[in-house]
């Protein structure tokens, strides 16, 4: 896997084009939309509790700063419609282990853009980049067991369910079980050939 410095340098200059999307680093103009997304219960339902405005703004501003590649720190990338440059959501990653080449990914889109294949297109681009360019060995993703669209997307990416972690997280004061999915580089290579 690339070194932390190489990953940091390359991903802090992200500018990817796919068939329908432009995936890039956050810009100052994205702050208002990202704050709105973080306050929308439809978007955050399975991700995190909605926090007060001051706490949320501080977290979003930190999330939008240049990424420092250390294990456990998330990098968010803006997902925009390619032709319109409309900000529709994010894909994100964090290095789980540089030594073992493990990276966790995540994604979320505004509900107006669900069901159009955009989340799959963005996540596939991220996975492909992580295996091809970053030389990751394994991609991981987690989701609460009630989030059928999320684990459905993981399965479309070729990921396999590895475990169900019981009462692994809380949302809105309730414990939730979480699935963990994984995709090995060798599996990805056999799918891609």
Q: What is the pLDDT of residue 172?
A: 87
Q: What is the pLDDT of residue 169?
A: 94
Q: Is the dihedral of CA 66, 71, 73, 77 positive or negative?
A: positive
How far is Cα 5 from Cα 123, in angstroms, rounded to an integer? Answer: 23
Model confidence at 193: pLDDT above 80: no
70 falls in which pLDDT band (50, 70, 90)?
confident
Region of 158 please: left (phi>0), alpha (psi -120 to 50) or beta. left
Model confidence at 58: pLDDT above 80: yes
Q: Which residues of 90-124 are buried (b: 16+ CB within 10 A; e: fewer)?
A: bbbbbbbebeebbbbbbbbbbeeeeeeebbebbbb
The answer to whether residues 12 and 25 touch, using CB atoms and an 8 Å cutoff, is yes
Retrieve residue 100's tokens.
């073992």
19 falls in which pLDDT band (50, 70, 90)?
very high
Q: What is the pLDDT of residue 49?
A: 93
Residue-averaged pLDDT of the chain: 95
Model confidence at 20: pLDDT above 90: yes
């Amino acid at each position: 896997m690339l070194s932390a410095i190489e990953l940091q340098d390359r991903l802090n200059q992200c500018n990817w084009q796919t068939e329908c999307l432009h995936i890039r680093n956050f810009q100052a103009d994205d702050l208002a939309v990202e704050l709105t997304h973080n306050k929308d219960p439809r978007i955050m339902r399975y991700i995190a509790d909605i926090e007060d405005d001051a706490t949320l703004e501080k977290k979003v501003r930190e999330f939008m700063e240049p990424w420092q590649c250390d294990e456990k720190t998330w990098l968010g990338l803006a997902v925009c419609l390619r032709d319109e440059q409309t900000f529709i959501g994010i894909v994100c990653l964090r290095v789980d282990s540089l030594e073992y080449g493990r990276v966790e990914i995540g994604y979320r889109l505004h509900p107006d853009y669900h069901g159009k294949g955009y989340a799959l297109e963005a996540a596939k681009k991220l996975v492909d980049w992580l295996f091809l360019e970053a030389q990751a060995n394994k991609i991981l993703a987690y989701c609460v067991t009630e989030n059928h669209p999320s684990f459905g997307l993981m399965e479309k990416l070729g990921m396999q369910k590895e475990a169900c972690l019981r009462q692994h997280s809380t949302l809105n004061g309730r414990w939730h079980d979480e699935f963990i999915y994984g995709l090995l580089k060798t599996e990805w290579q056999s799918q891609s050939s």
